Every structure is written in C-alpha cells, then in structure tokens.
Amino acid sequence: MQRESFLSDDCPPMGIYETLYAFRDSFGQFMGTPGTHPWSQGFPLTTPLPGGPSLPSSVAVTWEDRFYPKAWGHPRLREAIAEHYNGFYGSQIAPENVMVFAGGRPGIFSVLAFLKNHVEVRIGSIEWPAYLDILTQTETSWRVVPFTRENGFHPANSAYFDRAGLNAKTRLLAIISNPGNPTGHTRHGDELRELMAIAQEAKNGILLDEAYELFHHSTGVSGIAYVDDLDESNVFLSGACTKGLQCPGIRVGWIIASRRNIETLSNFSSFGMGGVSHPSQLYAAELLEPKRVAQARDAVAAHYGMQRERYGAAFRNMGLTVHTGDGGFYHWLELPEGLNAHEFNRRLFKRGAAILEGFDCDMARPHAKDPSYRSPYGSFFRFSFGPLLPETFDSDVAIMAEVLDQYRADRAAGR
C-alpha cells in the first residue's frame, strides 16, 4: 500500500496542462515541437519583431553578483522599473514602491497569500486560469463579476466594488488583467481613470495585472497614470518582462505598491524566497533601457495589432463570433450553433493544433473536478496569436476553417 503523501492532495497543475497532456496523447508530440500549432500558448515571440529592438544575448556577471540578492530586488532594476513608469505615465513612484519577483506569478501569489481575512476578492467570471488556482491555494475568498455576451465581456468598473450584502468590515480587492487574458478587453483613458479612482476609495483596493501593458494601440496602458497617492492606497500593479519585453525565460516580474505593502512583501522574501537571480535582474535592467522600450512599444503595438486585426477578420468569415477587445494577444471566440470547445479541441489535436477552452477561464467553476458542473462558457475558447510568426497565418486559418467545417458537417449529419 502506498504511504500517505504529506503534501496536499488538491494541487493539480493549471487547467491548460491537462489539455497539453491530452494533446500529447493524441498527436504523439508535445505542443511547441516543430509541426505543432501553439494557439493555446500564452508566450510572445522571443525573436525581434519587425522594427523592434534587438534582445541582449549576454549579461556580465561579476563577483558581486554572486552575493545573495537583496530581498526586495537589485537596486539597479528597482530604479529602472520606477523610471519605466515615471517616464512614460508621468507617475512619481520611488524604488521603494517596487518589489522584484521571479516572474509575474510569484508576485501575484505573494500578494494574495498575505491578504487579511476580511479582504474579499472580486474577479471577472472569465479571467486568466492561474488566478483560480492561486485564489484556491491561498485560501482567498472571492466572488465573480459576471462576464456575459450582454455586457460584452466588459462589465462596468463599479460592478467590481458593489457592496450589496456586505458588512462594514469587509474590504474589496478587485483583480483584473488589463489588457485582459483571455478576452483582450482593455480599460484605458477615462475608463481606467475611473477604475483607479474607485479602487483608491477607503475600503477598496486593486490588483491590476499589467502583464500585457504594451499590447495596446496606445503603446502602453497602466493604472499608475491615475494613482494619486500610492503610499496611501491598496493599489497593487503587477508587471513582468514576460510578454511585451519578450523574455518569459528570464523569470523577472514585479509588484508596484505602497511602501508599507512592499515592506511586507520583502519581509516575506527575506524568509521565504531569498530574492531573485542577479543575472536575470541585470538582464531585465538592460531590457528596460528607455530607448529600447520606446522602440518595443511601437513594434509590439504594430505587430500584434496587425495580427489581432487579420485573425479576427478571418475568424468572423468562418462563422465564429469574435468577442475580443482591443488589447493583448488573444482572441476570445464563440463557436457557432452551440458547438462545444472541448470536442472542437479534440478535433484540432489531430491536426497538431490546440486552443484554450473557455471552461478553463471560468472563475466560478469548482477547482476540484466536478462532472455535474456546467460552465456557461462551453462553446467559448481562447486563440493565442502571441507565439505565431506572420508566415503561419494562412495555414493557421486553413486548419481552423477545415476543422470547423468538418465539425459542423458531422453535427448536421448527427455524427
């Protein structure tokens, strides 16, 4: 008999991994190997974009870099991150408002792990799958804000801070990916100003996940532009080198917050993390060189804007409903005639392709498997054009159209 494991029995990988294993079992190769079509994957191109900056190929490491890093981040990188925001968005944050993590996820996880018990989270009913796992594992309480066809998958800002039925003690923390994963909906300009104003009211806060900051026609969208007094707020902005700076592999992300909240996070780092790799932080500081970022802003917005546009047009032509906003690198799509995204995916697998099923982004679904749960997003899916080279457009569209036509024909014939 196998001995009882001392670790949790409820720690499956993020939902998408199940799809990736099923893909491998069906196609015989891992998603991402040559000949596969990584439409389910959330990574960007890691080669230079047309008109974009080159990517550093090395970083110098000296004896000082072999010391333990500072718990809150390398001074050079903290400085560069503060400047990244202040230079473009006109904010006045200090390096003490910045805490460096090994990517976006650990920052988000840490914020939620240290929330007080009377802070409740409000999150859209369609969001990035990892949030569901993070909320569950940190034992955070949350309620969903409905994302529906009727509200265009873009509820009003006020919906996140509705206090109906709450007692006076409860504090609200909205979690929003902006631009959104998987919907691409983006709050910017006056709408973002309003969101940040509400989030700075006394009993409110926000964790605004800006992983896709550069993926918008404005060439950069951040709530920091509308924060009046960061040190007196419970505003948390999450950023990373993962998407717009094209470097998921260096594992550098950060949280911007009040000095007090950053101190709590860095205290945690001192006993629970030990800081972040110096070589990675030095590499990140190079990536953030202002002239480089200026070039990246234009190139990311142009390349991904072009891809969003043409994939969207092609999907409409083949009868998919496109519910995508104007940011990010995903399309949020609905199959026609109630076709099912799970079945559609099994059919794509045979062609070496896969999508992310809407079910995985459903923040109201049970974390543990429950066959009786019916997600309202069964006919929805996310298509990622993040890792796609421009030259695969024609074959991507052809595969999608063929599989869709066949599925429709089979359904019509009762097969």
Ligand X SMILES: Cc1ncc(COP(=O)(O)O)c(C=O)c1O
Q: Which is nearer to ligand X, 361 or 404 (CB)?
A: 361
Q: Which residues of 218-240 are buried (b: 16+ CB within 10 A; e: fewer)?
A: ebbbbbbbbbeebbebbbbbbbb
Residue 13 CB, shortest distance to ligand X, in Å, is 14
Two tokens, residue 36: 């596969």
Chain residues 8-67 in contact with ligand X, contact rule CB under 6 A: 42
Q: Which is nearer to ligand X, 42 or 69 (CB)?
A: 42
Cβ-contact 258, 233 below 8 angstroms: yes
Residue 274 CB, shortest distance to ligand X, in Å, is 18
Q: Which is nearer to ligand X, 209 or 357 (CB)?
A: 209
Q: Which is nearer to ligand X, 130 or 335 (CB)?
A: 130
Positive or negative CA dihedral for 21, 144, 375, 409?
negative
- Residue sitting closest to ligand X (CB): 104
Q: Could you say whether residue 128 binds ligand X (CB under 6 A)?
A: yes
Q: Quickly count: other Cβ atoms within 10 Å of residue 119's Cβ.
A: 17
Residue 182 CB, shortest distance to ligand X, in Å, is 9
Query: What amino acid occupies position 168?
Result: A
Residue 103 CB, shortest distance to ligand X, in Å, is 3
Cβ-contact 286, 137 below 8 angstroms: no
Q: Could you say whether residue 181 binds ligand X (CB under 6 A)?
A: yes
Two tokens, residue 168: 């006076």
Residue 251 CB, shortest distance to ligand X, in Å, is 7
Distance, in Å, from the CA atom of 392 to the CA atom of 197, rounded to the nearest integer, reads: 43
Number of residues that bind ligand X (CB under 6 A): 13
Chain residues 224-263 in contact with ligand X, contact rule CB under 6 A: 240, 242, 248, 253
CA atoms within 13 A on the CB side of 94: 8
Distance, in Å, from the CA atom of 92 to the CA atom of 71, rounded to the nearest integer, reads: 23
Q: Could you say whether residue 74 binds ligand X (CB under 6 A)?
A: no
Q: Which of 27, 49, 88, 19 is nearest to 349 (CA)?
A: 27
Q: Could you say whether residue 105 binds ligand X (CB under 6 A)?
A: yes
Q: Which is nearer to ligand X, 134 or 339 (CB)?
A: 134
Which residues of the chain form contacts with ligand X (CB under 6 A)?
A: 42, 103-105, 128, 177, 181, 209, 211, 240, 242, 248, 253
